[in-house]
Amino acid sequence: MSHSPQISYPNSVKIVEVGPRDGLQNESQTIALADKLQLIANLTDAGVQHVEAGSFVSPKWVPQMADSSSVFAQLPRKAGVTYSALTPNIKGLEAALAVNVDEVAIFGAASESFSQKNINCSIAESLKRFKPLMAMAQRHGIRVRGYVSCVLGCPYEGDISPTKVAQVSKALFDMGCYEISLGDTIGVGTPLKTQQLIETVRQALPTSKLAVHFHDTYGQALANILMALQHGIRVIDSAVAGLGGCPYAKGASGNIATEDVVYMLHGMGIETGIDLTKLIKAGKNIMTTLGRESHSKVAGALLTE
Ligand code: HMG
Ligand code: MG
């Protein structure tokens, strides 16, 4: 579909819903297993086709994800939906395989300090650690997604060079990740920086292998997503109700709300396969459980209509 001589947008975009993982991992209150399962069921009922449903990390580091094995064991799996999880090491992958996770993700960073704080090792060490994990996942026929954190700034180091992001992205891609999700972990990016980032990273790997993952701390995420779309990105990570944050990135607020992304895309004539009304209900339900207001502007507007 073409809207102007210069800019063309796709007919459809894939949404990777990360609320049950990126969203809930940062909650201080304990969330009942039944509430997690209900959230995931509500999301897939709304048409979400990829849900990051948990994380096989150290329960000492991220207590909120400690019941991920139970989440996957009890998921009401819907045909055609991919249920994925984060796995930082072999131990995590073994736990994920034991409960039939469809797909896993490894997560590195473009910032040394963030890598240390988040996964307790250097960038080089993390890449070394991911190799046997990748080999094991391939033996089991499991696809592996790769995350790169701090692509537009780091809570400890400030500015991050797009070249560094490109290097880490390429290392993960060359290792066998089928897609690289570029994470603006602390939501500091602005549109022209997003453009520069994508232009740099796509010299190292094809744009069709990239996804974007914006936290909305500074309210820039939708503008950045629009810029990413204009530069050929077709996969967007988001969290229902704008849930979330990263426990190892102080001040990082939630991901951009899926409702707001879907409203923008549908308004541009871009399909997502998601029913916005049902998605808003899924968001309202989890926020009622958490006892907080949604971060989604669209949910706020449509629920008061
Ligand atoms: P470590 O302490 O260096 O690891 O942590 P270790 O191998 O020395 O093990 C220490 C303990 O952890 C041992 O237990 C292990 O058994 C256990 P102990 O003997 O002390 O009782 N352990 C595990 N337990 C369960 N599952 C595992 C596992 N591995 C070790 N897989 C480690 C290294 C990577 C494990 C740790 O640093 C960790 O779990 N980090 C996870 C941090 C995290 O989950 N952060 C949030 C996700 S990333 C994110 O949000 C960013 C993203 O959204 C993109 C963006 O926004 O930019 C993806
Ligand atoms: Mg994140």
For ligand 1, atom 33, the nearest C-alpha belongs to: 119
Neighbours of 1 (CB within 10 A): 10
Q: Give the model's confidence band at 209: pLDDT under 50 very low, under 70 low, under 90 confident, else very high.
A: very high
In a domain, 53, yes or no: yes
* 121 tagged catalytic: no
In a domain, 8, yes or no: no
Could you give the CA distance from residue 67 to residue 93 in angstroms, rounded to a whole number?
15
As a whole number, mean pLDDT of residues 150-176 equals 97
Q: State the distance from the centre of ligand 2 to the C-alpha of 138, rounded, in angstroms.
A: 25
CATH of the domain at 261: 3.20.20.70
Mutate to test the pocket of ligand 1, among 58, 70, 145, 212 (most ligand atoms within 8 A of CB): 58
| Per-residue CA distances from 69 to 26, 66, 91, 145, 240 (Å) | 18, 8, 13, 19, 22
Q: State the distance from the centre of ligand 1 to the C-alpha of 87, rounded, in angstroms.
A: 8
pLDDT tens digit sequence for 112-135? 999 999 999 999 999 999 999 999
Give me the count of residues in the chain: 305
Give residue 253's pLDDT: 84
In a domain, 1, yes or no: no
Q: State the distance from the centre of ligand 1 to the C-alpha of 119, rounded, in angstroms.
A: 6
pLDDT tens digit sequence for 284-295? 999 999 988 899
- With a pLDDT cut of 90, the percent of the chain lying above it is 90
Q: What is the pTM of this model?
A: 0.96
In a domain, 9, yes or no: no
83 lines ligand 1 (CB under 6 A): no
CA atoms within 13 A on the CB side of 259: 23
Q: Give the model's confidence band at 252: pLDDT under 50 very low, under 70 low, under 90 confident, else very high.
A: low
Q: Give the model's confidence band at 182: pLDDT under 50 very low, under 70 low, under 90 confident, else very high.
A: very high
Could you give the CA distance from residue 64 to residue 56 in angstroms, rounded to a whole number?
11
In a domain, 284, yes or no: yes
Average pLDDT of every residue of the chain: 95
Could you give the CA distance from residue 46 to residue 250 in angstroms, rounded to a whole number?
32
Could you give the CA distance from residue 106 to residue 169 in angstroms, rounded to a whole number?
12
In a domain, 51, yes or no: yes
| Per-residue CA distances from 268 to 2, 53, 187 (Å) | 11, 28, 24
pLDDT surpassing 70 at residue 99? yes
Give residue 250's pLDDT: 67
Q: Give the model's confidence band at 1: pLDDT under 50 very low, under 70 low, under 90 confident, else very high.
A: low
Q: Which residues surround ligand 2, an ion (CB under 5 A)?
A: 22
As a whole number, mean pLDDT of residues 244-260 equals 79
Give residue 246's pLDDT: 58
For ligand 1, atom 22, the nearest C-alpha belongs to: 58
Range of the domain at 141: 14-304
- With a pLDDT cut of 70, the percent of the chain lying above it is 95
Q: Give the model's confidence band at 305: pLDDT under 50 very low, under 70 low, under 90 confident, else very high.
A: low
Query: Which H or E run contains 148?
Result: strand 143-149
pLDDT surpassing 80 at residue 79? yes
Largest distance between two CA atoms of the chain: 53
Give residue 303's pLDDT: 82
Give residue 279's pLDDT: 98
User: Where is average pLDDT lowest: 16-25, 131-140, 246-255?
Assistant: 246-255
In a domain, 138, yes or no: yes
In a domain, 244, yes or no: yes
Per the model's pLDDT, the better-predicted residue between 132 and 250 turns out to be 132
Give residue 58's pLDDT: 97
In the chain, the number of structural domains is: 1
Q: Give the model's confidence band at 245: pLDDT under 50 very low, under 70 low, under 90 confident, else very high.
A: low
